[in-house]
Amino acid sequence: MNLKGQVVLLTGASRGIGLALAQSLAGRGAKLHLVSRRFAPEMKADLEQRGAESVRLWEKDLSIMSQADELARALEGESIDVLINNAGLLTGGLLEEQDPDAIDQMLMVNVHAVIRLTRKLLPHMLARRSGKIVNNASVSGKMFFPCASTYAASKAAVVAFTESLKQELRGTGVSTLLLITPGVKTAMYDEIQDLYGGHLDLSFMNSIPAEEWAERVVRAIEDDEDTLWPTGSSHLGVKFAHHLPALFERVVRPKFKRS
C-alpha cells in the first residue's frame, strides 16, 4: 500500500508509539485523523511540516464508553483507508490489589474501543473492497507473566479478535495486521516497574525506541503483512512461551514472589 494520500485513523496518537507512528505516517504524506485525550498545541503544525497531507485531531477519552461511541458515530461516514487501534492502558500487580475501576478503564480502551471502532468503520472498507485494520496486541497477548493477569487478558483478546477477523475478511480486499509489540521505551513502559516490580524480577526486560518500532509498523502496512513479530530475544521469548508453556512457567516461577 502506498500511504501517500491515504486516510489513516490512529488512536493513542499524542505520545509514545502513537506519536512516533503519526510522525512516520506524516512523512509518507498520509491524511491523518488522530485520537487522544489531549494534544500539544503545536502537534498539528509539526505533522504538516513533516509532510502530512492533512491532520485532524480528535480529543476523545476512549476509556469512557460514550466518548468512544461518539467518535465511532462521527467517523461512520468517513472513508478510512487504514485504522490503527494503538491506544492502550496498562494495569498490573497482584489481582486482588488492582483497582477495579482501573481494570474497567483498561478493558474499555484495550478491547471494547478496538472492537467498536473496527465494527463502525469496516462496512465502508468492505464496500470499497480495500482497507487495513491494524491492532496493537503486544507480546503480553502471547506471554503470560504473573502480575500481568488483567493486561495480558486484554491483549490476548486483541490477538483472538484480530485472528478471527482476518479469516472473516479473506477475499474481501480488506486485511488485518496484528502487532506483537515488544518492550518499547515509552512512558507506559516506565510504569511497568511500579506496577509489577514489587512482586516480579524484571531484570530480563529490554526495550527499543518508539521510532524504531513505528517505522517497522508502517513498513508492514505498506507491505500488507498480516503479523508483525518482534525481533531478537523478544521473538524467542514469545515462541518459547507459546510452544513450551510448562517450561516457560518453570523459568518464570523463581522470578515471582507474592510478598
Residue 61 lies in a domain: yes
The predicted pLDDT at position 129 comes to: 97
DSSP string, 55-122: EEEEE--TTSHHHHHHHHHHHTTS--SEEEE-------S-GGGS-HHHHHHHHIIIIIHHHHHHHHHH
Residue 57 lies in a domain: yes
Give yes or no for residue 76 having a pLDDT over 80.
no
> What pTM did the predictor assign?
0.96
The predicted pLDDT at position 102 comes to: 98
**Please, what is the average pLDDT of the chain?**
96
pLDDT bucket at 82, cuts 50 / 70 / 90: very high
Question: Which residue bears the cell 497482584?
Answer: 94
User: 225: helix, coil or strand?
Assistant: coil
Residue 86 lies in a domain: yes
**Angle between helix 149-168 and 113-128 (nearest 10):** 10
Task: Select which of 39, 151, 189, 196 is catalytic.
Answer: 151
Residue 164 lies in a domain: yes
The predicted pLDDT at position 56 comes to: 95
Residue 2 lies in a domain: no
222: containing domain: 7-255
Residue 1 lies in a domain: no
**Angle between helix 245-252 and 232-243 (nearest 10):** 120
User: 167: helix, coil or strand?
Assistant: helix
pLDDT bucket at 208, cuts 50 / 70 / 90: very high
Residue 165 lies in a domain: yes
- Which CATH number is 191's domain given? 3.40.50.720
C-alpha span between 22 and 26 (Å, rounded): 6
Q: What is the pLDDT of residues 124-159, one digit of tens each?
A: 999 999 999 999 999 999 999 999 999 999 999 999
CA nearest 177: which of 115, 215, 226, 229?
Answer: 226
CA angle 165, 222, 50 (to 5 degrees): 120
- Percent of the chain at pLDDT exceeding 70: 100
Quote the number of domains for the chain. 1
Question: Is 189 part of the annotated catalytic residue set?
Answer: no
Residues 6+ apart with CB under 8 A from 240: 247, 248
Residue 179 lies in a domain: yes
The predicted pLDDT at position 105 comes to: 97
